[in-house]
Structure 1
Amino acid sequence: MLPETPAILQVRLAVRAWLELHRGDDVVVALSGGADSLALTAAAAAEADRVRALVVDHGLQDGSAAVAQQAADRAVQLGCASAEVLTVQVGTEGGLEAAARRARYDALDTARAGATVLLGHTLDDQAETVLLGLARGSGARSIWGMRDYDPPWGRPLLGTHAATTRAACVELGIEPHEDPHNDSPDFTRVRLRREVLPLLEDVLGGGVAAALARTADQLREDGAVLDAIAADLFDRIGHGSDLDIDAIIAEPAAVRRRVVRLWLLKGGAKALTDKHLRAVDDLMVRWRGQGGVAVGGGMPGSRLVTSRRHGKLTLTLEKGRAAN
């Protein structure tokens, strides 16, 4: 039985609202042993019918197996039906942070057995995500932030500050594990959390994290409407392998580039950026006889190239260095 103290009640209400909205009965909680996921686990065990905990051991630090097992034991103490430790091998592609994230999500996806996985991302994590997207300058989509439900991933705490989850752990009388990576200035997110966001809060008078999250929500809602318009148009014209320029050139740029994005993804493109989409768009609206545009995707030793031919956009696989 959880104590009815302020922080715990706030976390429980957030989880309860999420479960009611998304009908989450049988759920899995991704537990790291940190304050956010511990508070989430306690609340989920109290609010959901049945909760399993999955703990990922990345093996990146001495004693990580013991830390993972301790987290699993605590999950059962908090009321989870079961807890399982998933040991993963972390690669090096894309840097340590990205590789660890990829290994973690792959392991959780395999072990969830069809259930929704609840993640402990908070309002502060959302603000960091929006700032990182803003710095990339890859268009509105890059600053949409995280959704509260992006199947199979659920994020009930996106409106809850990390300070609340830490307070909840104090109220529960449990000490969360502090990952040394969370304090390392080698990681951009850590510097955003420790340096940039506090400075913004100070200079702008507070409320920055919540404002960034609201902005992301508004952009995501607007973007969803444009995506739907573009998807409807693409369904009507996108049956062939080529894309008819005349069919979309009169559309607003925001719709036109979304249609191009859908067409490229259908053709096997990956990791598309705003720069890619604008360059392909130029093949239609600023045609000066320029050559093709290489986009992400293709096979090893080859690249996907978009070109303009006879009033259509074509996508071909060419031998050579893959696009960045």
Structure 2
Amino acid sequence: MSYSTSILRKITTTLVLGFAAAAVNAQSIDTLHAPAPALPGVYADPNIAVFNNKFYIYPTTDGTEGWQSTQFSCWSSANLTDWKNEGVILDLPVDLTWAKVRAWAPTIATKNNKYYYYYTADVNIGVAVADKPTGPFKDPLGKPLIRRGLLGGQMIDPMAFVDDDGSAYLYWGQGQCNVVKLNADMISCDTSKITSFKPEGYNEGPFMIKRKGLYYLMWSEYDTRDPRYSIAYATSKSPLGPFVKAVGHPVLKGKGVVKGAGHHSVVQVPGKDEWYIAYHRFKIPDGNGYNRETCVERMYFDADGNIKPVDVFGKLKPVKMKAGKK
């Protein structure tokens, strides 16, 4: 074999191996084939929670321009991958006297052996109460908890957070973030003690978690109709702030065929440092800001406590919980 032939074979082998490696790499970062949504149909703004060894998702019913939905539903799962529709848990025209339409972005918390469901109705925030996480939920006030126009921005996207000491806080707001400590009854608050602020990039959908003594305030940036819709966060040593935005650590954003990934919630597997994020994206295919679908994916922290970027192309595996944990 001549010297030139030997060189040619080495070059050919290198090219073949290079193409093979490129093919494997391309397959590993495929952005054209997203995983199926967690819930069938069009649902947005998912609030994920865990009660009594079962996971629940409380979403906005999507599919109408201007988001004209009138009902809220609940979905349950024992493993985060197989979901059952528990039916309508709150019907605005039937269950409320003060709002009939625009049922958006709910959240839920438990305390006092009751379940408290906070929701947006006609750009007000209401609260409903039930004995079970699947309802039926009843309006105890006959009026909004937070009325539209009370503050700057829209009174939407509530998030209820119960701290380790039992103190409960309500976060909400589009255009600015608002937070207030809820009274012990969970259905009232002192509106004169509302704190309002606007982290850089904040638009809507606040969500609070606590891990290892640190508070993580997360939110959605851009508009939900914008393909750039995404999630960022800030941290604090207090549920009321001040919060410092995590720079260079976006929680979640679209990529490839996944667009408009945002308005999320997070759940911790009881008894484990294991976290999952629920969010919506434009329906695939042909979705937009009025036709969105709910997804669930694993969320990780690094050694310094930073939230790692979520893989919107991940393959979620069934989750097992420890018996007896709530």
Please classify the TM superposition score into its range, dividing by the shorter chain length. under 0.3
TM-score relative to the length of structure 1? 0.27
TM-score relative to the length of structure 2? 0.26
Query: Which structure is higher in helix share?
Result: 1
Q: Larger relative CO (CA 8 A, sep 6+): 1 or 2?
A: 2
Query: Which structure is higher in strand share?
Result: 2
